[in-house]
Amino acid sequence: MSAREFDPHISIDPITHAKDGDYFIKQIEIEHLRRKIETPFKVLAGNGINVEDVSPVSGMIAQPFLEYQKFITDIRSWNSLYHLLNEAGPDRVHGLDSFFNIKKRMWNSALTTVSLVFPKNPFKEFSVGSGETRKTFPGLDENSYICLLDYVHSASKAFVLCPDVRLEKRDDINTTQYLAFVDQSIKILMDRNNRPIFAPLHIELSKKNLEAILSHYKTQGYTNIWIDFDAKSCNDTYSSRLKTIIHLIDKIMGNSNATLYFSHIKKELLPHVQENKAAASDILTQFLGADFIGTDREPWRPFLGNLNNDDALAERASKNNFATKDAYLEAHTFHKHRIFDPDSYYYLNLDHYPQSLPISDSTLLKDNAVNQFLNSTLMHLEVERTKKTISETKSVKKYLNTKAAIQENPNIMDNIVVPQRAPDLMDFLGNL
């Protein structure tokens, strides 16, 4: 595919930028929608959400823009996808809606996109377990993958995010195969398409692979890029990786030509069950080059221990310095369901949240989908407020200094704010 064949279907008009960081305000026109969006822009978490679920907050945003994300983990999910693509008949689309946790009443009233990440090559057969418990995924063939991409395209009314595959530290896919996978995916998605298509870029790529992929993207004309955070946070390590990605995009592709969509972001920095708060990670992406901020995803880990097993639960409670199992379970529930506080940039336990919320604590503690939707809504409103303020002050530092999480964690500020250069003789002469 030559560069001129790929149409980003996006027009970019830079508006302003902060004088002390990588914060850029742009007007981005999504051509097929005839809609202009000022970025940074926060997309909402759509998984598992129906209209009735979010009626208390439905008036906060005029037309929601939702992302439905999927990271395929266990063998059951792999084989469920294989069955839907190869064996399901009339129920295939409904089954894929369930697989991606898309509730159609909410989907009908919103702009949407779908992000899909494979942790390994989806075209390769693999097995897990042994003996009678051994289960095998046969691998997708070309036609079943085309069916999947057709579904992703139809479910994505705003942007189309090309699926991503983990590349680093894998022996089932190399860089050449990865680029062929992206090219073939985009070629299929481009068929009868008028929507912006985004090529994937994993945050943990080696410098060698990053340079090779970006050089290929430049050749192909892929100027829309979605950065797969793979459930990593914007801490010291990954903010530096992100800066490297932005610098190389600028060097190889020309940053002004690229539209960046960040997703699958770990929401908190260093959360711990004993604490009633954790500094937000996801909100920081607006200061690190994001045009569109997608959804959060927590790291997937194989289940360790059984919370219904008294001995395992007692051991976990003791390890985390809780006197009783019940005390640990209560703290764990609050820990997993914190809510974003835009005034402090902390995620706070609900029993420490300073304002009233439009959804009850009991719902937010038991319904993960509603919890995530409210968090993304609160963040969307904060991103809009940030944009308005920085467009006037041109200062990231001045704004972040109002947030307790930044004041109490100065390394966050250090990773975001660019030190201002002292005026030199040439600056002086230039002002004469």
CB 8 within 8 A of CB 223: yes
Query: Which residue carries 């508006």 as its tokens?
Result: 15
- Could you give the CA distance from residue 296 to residue 339 in angstroms, rounded to a whole number? 13
What pLDDT score does 3 carry?
44
What pLDDT score does 307 carry?
61
The string of DSSP codes covering 281-329 is SGGGGGGBT-SEE--B-PPP----S-TT-HHHHHHHHHHTT-SSHHHHH
The string of DSSP codes covering 212-231 is HHHHHHHHHT--EEEEEEEE
What pLDDT score does 2 carry?
47
What pLDDT score does 4 carry?
46
DSSP 8-state secondary structure symbol assigned to residue 158: S
Strand-pair category, 197-202 with 160-161: parallel
What pLDDT score does 306 carry?
59
Write down the domain spans for the chain: 3-301+338-430, 303-336
Closest CA to 12 of 33, 29, 32, 35: 29
Per-residue pLDDT of the chain (432 residues; tens, 9 = 90+): 544 478 999 999 999 999 999 999 999 999 999 999 999 999 999 999 998 888 898 778 888 899 999 999 999 999 999 999 999 999 999 999 999 999 988 888 899 999 999 999 999 999 999 999 999 999 999 999 999 999 999 999 999 999 999 999 899 999 999 999 999 999 999 998 999 999 999 999 999 999 999 999 999 999 999 999 999 999 888 899 999 999 999 999 876 689 999 999 999 999 999 999 999 999 999 999 999 999 999 998 654 455 667 788 888 899 999 989 999 999 999 999 999 999 999 999 999 999 999 999 999 999 999 999 999 999 999 999 999 999 999 999 999 999 999 999 999 999 999 876 555 555 555 555
Say whether the peptide bond before residue 14 is cis (omega within 30 degrees of 0).
no
Q: Where are the alpha helices (DSSP H) in 229-294?
A: 236-252
Rounded to two decimals, the pTM is 0.94
Instruction: Enumerate the β-bridge partners of residue 12.
Output: 28
How many CB atoms sit inside 10 A of residue 222's CB?
26
List CB contacts of 334: < 8 A, sequence separation 6 or more. 276, 349, 350, 351, 365
- Could you give the CA distance from residue 184 to residue 9 in angstroms, rounded to a whole number? 19
Q: Which CATH number fits domain 3-301+338-430: 2.60.40, 2.60.120, 3.30.450, 3.20.20?
A: 3.20.20
- Could you give the CA distance from residue 325 to residue 311 in angstroms, rounded to a whole number? 10
Strand-pair category, 346-348 with 277-280: antiparallel
CA–CA–CA angle 318, 323, 324 (5° rounding): 90
Structure tokens at 410: 């100065």
